[in-house]
A = this chain, B = another copy of it.
Amino acid sequence: MDKKILSMIKEIVGEEYVTNNPEIVKGYIYDETALPVRPRAANNILLVKPANTYEISEVLKLANKEKIPVFPRGGGTGLVGAAIPTVDGIVLSLERLDKIEIDKDNLMAIAEAGVTLRKLLEEAEKAGLFFPAHPGDESAQIGGLVACNAGGSRAVKTGVMRNYIRGLEVVLPTGEVLSLGGKLIKDNAGYDLAQLFIGSEGTLGIITRAIIRLYPKSKFMATLVIPYNNREEAFKTVPKILQSGIIPLAIEYVERKLVEKTANSLGMKWPASEGEYFLMIIVSEQSENSLYEVLERLADICTSNGSLEPLIADTRREQDSILKIRSEIYTFLKPESIDILDVTVPPANVLDLIKRIEKIANEYGIEIPVYGHVADGNLHPHILRIDGWSMEKYKEIIGKIYSEAIRLGGTITGEHGIGAIRKEYLLKFKSAKEIELMKELKKLFDPNNILNPDKVIP
């Protein structure tokens, strides 16, 4: 980078917050994308750590003028390479924007972009409130969670990130700062621009602050493990639960062989001795009475739809242990995974999707274990490595899985987003006009294409 520009950036954020030392930079150029499909980061990266919105705006004005690519960076927990600087430029870490404030009377959090999910959960809890969503890794940061419209397992009751966002502060690639929405439950004043930034994966603007709706603390929670010998029955139970009026925090689907292997790897034991297929349901209620009433009704619904005896974990320890095994499936499979998908279909079509994925797995003689957020129709197939796999074969396989998801009325990504590695597949099911509009939107917000270039748009 030009020395003059470098010194201007140092002037904006302070010399100690700018570095190109490879030993430091290397911790900021990759995310959690599976290694076999992870894009390579570029070699000449300048790491910049601004302190606030003003500094970000100044850096972006300069970068825009000089046409220097800027890659915003949060916790680096993404799975599709959206945070990887694929060309030379600036990685702009939001970590110093780490202030959070809880407004108890309005049940909202005002969090800067660099606040971690862990911190948000803790601060909400301290105020007697609750942030329901739990998109996995708690080191994810608010800016990234919003930019990627994160989901996770606890989306059944109150939704994904988009549903909690009431206001955003965003710095545009051209340096202007937008303040959108507010501590508002309703706001219909003009086009809702905030919605465009949610899920844009850092390509339209840098989110610096979010106003997030919180919920009352869930005082009474329990986790059920519902065993089935027959998979069809497990899936048929899900709409019955939802139609009954019970809306759990989460309804997950797992299979014995996968949870047992994962539990073993952790030195733990899967609690259910019977059944091959399991629903895992987290319920949260505001009183002990209503918790037990819901548990009883749930058990009734499940057993009358073919389940074996449900296991109820109502102590914190039992629950944590079950949830630990569930959440470690990903970690257990990761080293063997070429890629982790998040295909999503109408909830009633999940089993069909699983069957079609099995067929594809058989066809190629590979293993594609699945698990996922079944009430959201959101499945996580892991494409496992086999001897002699090739990038070509892998692409063929995921292409087929995507086609099946789309045939079933679904989408190629329910939560992980498009990032760097899913762009081409958008062309499979988005119309030419929709892609054109995405391109035009990008041009409108980022005329010099400096912000997270080469991401999202095919």
Contacts and interface: CB of A to CB of B under 8 A. Distances in A.
A184 B289 contact: no
A188 B245 contact: no
A189 B413 contact: yes
A129 interface: yes
B437 A346 contact: no
Contact of A172 (B176, B185, B433): B433
A348 B430 contact: no
Given A176-B433, A293-B290, A346-B182, A190 B444 contact: no
- Report how many copies the assembly holds: 2
A307 interface: no
A289 B290 contact: yes
Interface in A380-437: 409-418, 422, 426, 429-431, 433-434, 437
A345 B163 CA distance: 19
A447 to B, nearest CB: 11
Interface in A168-195: 172, 176, 178-180, 182-193, 195
B411 A189 contact: yes
Given A290-B289, A414-B186, A441-B444, A218 B245 contact: yes
Contacts of A273: none
A305 to B, nearest CB: 13
A104 B182 contact: no
A456 interface: yes
Contacts of A418: 188-190
Contacts of A314: none
Nearest to A445: B437
Given A287-B293, A293-B289, A192 B198 contact: yes
A26 B160 CA distance: 44
Contact of A244 (B103, B187, B216, B411): B216
B186 A191 contact: no
A148 interface: yes
A178 B414 CA distance: 19
Contacts of A192: 149, 162, 195-196, 198-199
A396 B148 CA distance: 43
A339 interface: no
A378 interface: yes
A312 interface: no
Nearest to A194: B195
Query: In this complex, which of A106, A198, A289, A378 has the most chain B Cβ atoms within 10 angstroms of its Cβ?
Result: A106
Interface string A240-270: 0011111100000000000000000000000
Interface string A214-249: 011111000000000000000000010011111100
A113 interface: no
Contact of A189 (B244, B426, B440): B426
A151 interface: yes
Contact of A376 (B186, B346, B441): B186
Contacts of A129: 243
B106 A348 contact: yes
Contacts of A416: 188
Most buried by B among A185, A346, A378, A441: A185
